[in-house]
Amino acid sequence: MPSHAITNIGTLVTNDPSLGPGPLGPIQDAALVVEGERVAWVGTSSRAPATDSHRDAGGRAVIPGFVDSHSHLLYAGDRTEEFNARMSGLPYTAGGIRTTVAATRRATDAELTARLARHLREMLRQGTTTVETKSGYGLTVSLESRALRIASAALEEVTYLGAHVVPPEFADAPEDYVALVTGPMLDACAPHARWIDVFCERGAFDADQARAILLAGRERGLRLRVHANQLTAGPGVRLAVELGASSADHCTHLTDSDIDALAASRGRTVATLLPGCEFSTRAPYPDARRLLDAGALVALATDCNPGSSYTSSMPFCVAVAVREMGMTPDEAVWSATAGGAAALDRTDVGRLAPGSRADLVLLDAPSPVHLAYRPGVPLVAEVWRAGRRVVG
Ligand code: NIG
Ligand code: FE
């Protein structure tokens, strides 16, 4: 198999797993060798083995491709007006989801497929090489399963979110909707998904409903993630930890006992923070510092969706997390790469070590700190996925 080296890397972020969660495991004046889809070797340039070809990084930094472990890309329509109204002082509520449900129900398969492809391309250009996305804007058996079919043709990390909100036609009979989500809808969706998620929140699903939905999904072989504590300090985080979910997402409003529970899970349940959401809803930012100091494992993701967070940019999330959430640049870069991988139970991405998938970003900067130091600047010069240069 031909080997290719990237040499003269100013700083190579490895997220070396032998160092445990957190440290970037940086190598200065580094080289990285790719064979096929995999990383074959990392180390200092002077020790690099001979390869069939090589490319000089010119002293720039290389980091693992971003792992965006939370997005909602199967939708149609637009919520510009809702955003405008919020920026004039109205609060965000879960009710806006129904606007997108109405538009998505009218959309053709081709429209959903094209929009997904456009967003994935946009993410790739910004350095994201692994993406999770969800259903949740169809809320019927056929429309949830169609969304998941479309997603699974493009992505590995696909999540069934039939329990996003109770759709209007079930407003008077929410328990009947839970029965649908845990019955026929689950039957139709489980073959196309790896994960099940539930929006556990006032105005969406309470703890008992969420537990029933998650357990039904687990019975069908799906892994668990939870939209938790986004709008209120509700039961979502504790439920996620109790059930051993891989991720509790949002974590905007946390009690001390929520933080203790996440820390006590010892990384089994990752706290996935979504700064684009607080940015776009003017909600308070989650306190990443408290979570990290308590010993919780933190991931960063975009939550890209047309309502609460219409950004697809992981560099943006890194910059906001550093400025507003008490993270250091190193912590934010780790959380946006290795942290996202942990939230998806993946060990082949989010790191650059021998054997891992050769997903990487060459930055137009000497160090990954520049992702926070130079907010809004397009620093992604090249993106490689599975050993192939796909951007730049
Ligand atoms: O993660 N919280 C629930 N779901 C999305 C919002 C979706 C929407 O507003 O359309 C979220 O923020
Ligand atoms: Fe979400």
Q: Which pairing describes strands 128-134 and 360-363: parallel, antiparallel, or unpaired?
A: unpaired
* Burial degree of 84 (CB within 10 A; 0-12, 13-18, 19+): exposed
Q: Give the C-alpha separation, 236 to 253, whole Å.
A: 10
pLDDT for position 23: 97
Q: Which pairing describes strands 157-163 and 195-200: parallel, antiparallel, or unpaired?
A: parallel
Residue 106 in tokens: 């009218």
Same fold, 3-65+350-391 and 66-343: no
Mean pLDDT score, 22-50? 97
User: Residue ranges per domain, the chain?
Assistant: 3-65+350-391, 66-343
In angstroms, the Cα distances linking 117 to 65, 111, 122, 160, 336 are 18, 10, 9, 19, 22
Q: Give the C-alpha separation, 327 to 190, whole Å.
A: 36
DSSP secondary structure letter of residue 305: B
Task: Give per-residue pLDDT as tens, 91-133.
Answer: 998 889 999 999 999 999 999 999 999 999 999 999 999 999 9
Instruction: Please identify every residue whose CB atom is under 5 Å from ligand 2, which is an ion.
Output: 303
Task: Give per-residue pLDDT as tens, 171-226.
Answer: 999 999 999 999 999 999 999 999 999 999 999 999 999 999 999 999 999 999 99
What is the pTM for the complete model shown? 0.98
Lowest mean pLDDT among 90-99, 136-145, 268-277, 349-358: 90-99
Cβ of 230 closer than 6 Å to ligand 1, yes or no, is yes
pLDDT for position 94: 82
In angstroms, the Cα distances linking 167 to 72, 150, 209, 225 are 17, 21, 15, 21
Task: Give per-residue pLDDT as tens, 216-227.
Answer: 999 999 999 999
**Ligand whose nearest atom lies closest to the CA of 277:** 1
pLDDT for position 78: 95
**Contacts of 199 by beta carbon, 8 Å cutoff, 6+ apart:** 94, 136, 161, 163, 164, 165, 205, 227, 230
Q: Is the dihedral of CA 57, 62, 67, 72 positive or negative?
A: negative
307 carries a ligand binding annotation: yes
Contact (CB, 8 A) for 309 and 280? yes
pLDDT for position 296: 98
**Contacts of 72 by beta carbon, 8 Å cutoff, 6+ apart:** 133, 134, 136, 137, 161, 303, 304, 305, 306
164 carries a ligand binding annotation: yes
Mean pLDDT score across all residues of the chain: 97
303 carries a ligand binding annotation: yes
CATH number for the region 66-343 comes to 3.20.20.140
**Ligand whose nearest atom lies closest to the CA of 103:** 1
Does position 321 have pLDDT exceeding 90, yes or no?
A: yes
pLDDT for position 142: 98
145 carries a ligand binding annotation: no
Numbers of helices and strands, H then E, in the chain:
15, 16
Å from CA of 143 to ligand 1 middle:
18
Task: Give per-residue pLDDT as tens, 368-383.
Answer: 999 999 999 999 999 9
Q: Which of 74, 143, 136, 78 is nearest to 105 (CA)?
A: 143
CATH of 3-65+350-391, one of 3.40.605.10, 1.10.1060.10, 2.30.40.10, 3.30.450.260: 2.30.40.10
Q: Which of 81, 230, 97, 246 is nearest to 162 (CA)?
A: 97
Q: Which of 108, 13, 7 is nearest to 53 (CA)?
A: 7
Cβ of 308 closer than 6 Å to ligand 1, yes or no, is yes
Q: Give the C-alpha separation, 206 to 199, whole Å.
A: 9
Cβ of 227 closer than 6 Å to ligand 1, yes or no, is yes
**Ligand whose nearest atom lies closest to the CA of 74:** 1
Task: Give per-residue pLDDT as tens, 246-296.
Answer: 999 999 999 999 999 999 999 999 999 999 999 999 999 999 999 999 999
Mean pLDDT score, 136-153? 98
Cβ of 96 closer than 6 Å to ligand 1, yes or no, is yes
pLDDT for position 344: 98
pLDDT for position 93: 87
Q: Name the band, by pLDDT with cuts 50, 70 and 90, for residue 84.
A: very high
Q: Give the C-alpha separation, 376 to 368, whole Å.
A: 14
* Burial degree of 248 (CB within 10 A; 0-12, 13-18, 19+): buried
